[in-house]
Amino acid sequence: MSIITISRGSRSGGQALAEMVAEKLNYDCISREILIEAAEEYGLDERTLIQFIDKPPKFWSRFNINRKMYLHLIKTTLLEHAQKGNLVYHGHSGQFLLKGIKSVLKIRLIASMEYRIKLTMEKEKLNREAAIQYIQRVDDIRNRWAKFFYGVELTDPNLYDLIINIETMTLESACDIICGLTEKPEYQSNLYCLESIKDATLAAKVEAALFADARTKTLDINITSESGNVSLKGSIEVERVRQAVIEVVKSVEGVKSINDEMTIGKLTNIPT
């Protein structure tokens, strides 16, 4: 049982490869569908959530919207899928959203600009100039998101377990390589990995709940979970805020106990 994330530049064959790998392994394959699920589960407008992904951070800074809340909702939904294992994810920031889970196989696809231009012209029915603009726009948005939330470059090879040049091999060959790696013990989800996914899922649910509550949405609280026991660390302004945080955390399904390590001090707001 494995979890695979596939990252790529626009029009680098990522979707086709992800679907091929999922079919061969009989895994679930998800991407933007996760946005629809997150919107439905948390009562959000689907178009707003999709726009959140499709627009660069500078666009969202013009609005009084808690950007991190949307990211946590997407993360929570993805982790719920990851708990089941046998998953190929080729959507937004998979290598970051599942960070810390050791058994995740993180793939990056690359291809020359010329290869991507040709593919974009064919798929989008664009002329050469329009295809170049399309690729540059999508790449720019993805790169800015990576820098904005994670402070990294998407092209940094240290973020991935394997980088594949999809231009120099067939999709079938790339698929065989990835499927072969899932048989290696380091990419098998053992009991410890499954427990770590459950812990990460619960922590993400708590974070999402705090972001969704008007009393706690601007707090910068570090949240960890171990077997249903949730630990809270951070600075709060007044005692009544502590009570609000604990009330929200208690309402999250799966929370068994709360270790409150929050301190009274200067409140640190999350930019909106």
One domain, residues 69 and 24:
yes
Does any domain span residue 192? no
Tallying the residues shown for the chain, one arrives at: 272
pLDDT at 270: 42
Does any domain span residue 222? yes
pLDDT at 262: 96
Does any domain span residue 124? yes
Q: Which two tokens stand for residue 270?
A: 């999350």
One domain, residues 158 and 66:
yes
Report d(CA 166, CA 158) in Å as an integer. Answer: 19
Does any domain span residue 272? no
Report d(CA 267, CA 95) in Å as an integer. Answer: 31
One domain, residues 242 and 166:
no
One domain, residues 243 and 164:
no
Report the domain count for the chain. 2
Does any domain span residue 199? no
| Residue that finishes a domain, picked among 172, 187, 202 | 187
Tell me the average confidence (pLDDT) per consecutive run of 10 residues in the chain, 272 residues long: 86 87 96 80 74 66 59 85 91 83 91 92 94 92 81 88 94 97 90 88 92 88 95 93 96 97 70 39
One domain, residues 15 and 124:
yes
One domain, residues 237 and 136:
no
One domain, residues 217 and 182:
no
Does any domain span residue 67? yes
One domain, residues 233 and 165:
no
Q: Is 170 exposed, middle or buried (0-12, 13-18, 19+ CB in 10 A)?
A: exposed
Return the HEC string of the chain: CCEEEEEECCCCCHHHHHHHHHHHHCCEEECCHHHHHHHHHHCCCHHHHHHHHHCCHHHHCCCCCCHHHHHHHHHHHHHHHHCCCCEEECCCCHHHHCCCCCCEEEEEEECCHHHHHHHHHHHHCCCHHHHHHHHHHHHHHHHHHHHHHHCCCCCCHHHCCEEEECCCCCHHHHHHHHHHHCCCHHHCCCHHHHHHHHHHHHHHHHHHHHHHCCCCCCCCCEEEEECCEEEEEEEECCHHHHHHHHHHHHCCCCCCEEEEEEEECCCCCCCC
For 255, the domain range is 213-264
Does any domain span residue 166? yes
CA 152-156-157 angle, 5° bins: 145
Q: Domain holding 224: CATH number?
A: 3.30.1340
One domain, residues 239 and 180:
no
Does any domain span residue 254? yes
Q: Which two tokens stand for residue 245?
A: 């945080």
Report d(CA 142, CA 35) in Å as an integer. Answer: 16
Q: Domain holding 131: CATH number?
A: 3.40.50.300
User: 0.85 exceeded by the pTM?
Assistant: no
One domain, residues 14 and 65:
yes
pLDDT at 158: 92
Residue 41 phi/psi, 5° resolution?
A: -70, -35
pLDDT at 91: 84
One domain, residues 183 and 231:
no
One domain, residues 66 and 146:
yes
pLDDT at 144: 82
Return the HEC string of 171-192: HHHHHHHHHHHCCCHHHCCCHH
Average pLDDT, the chain: 87
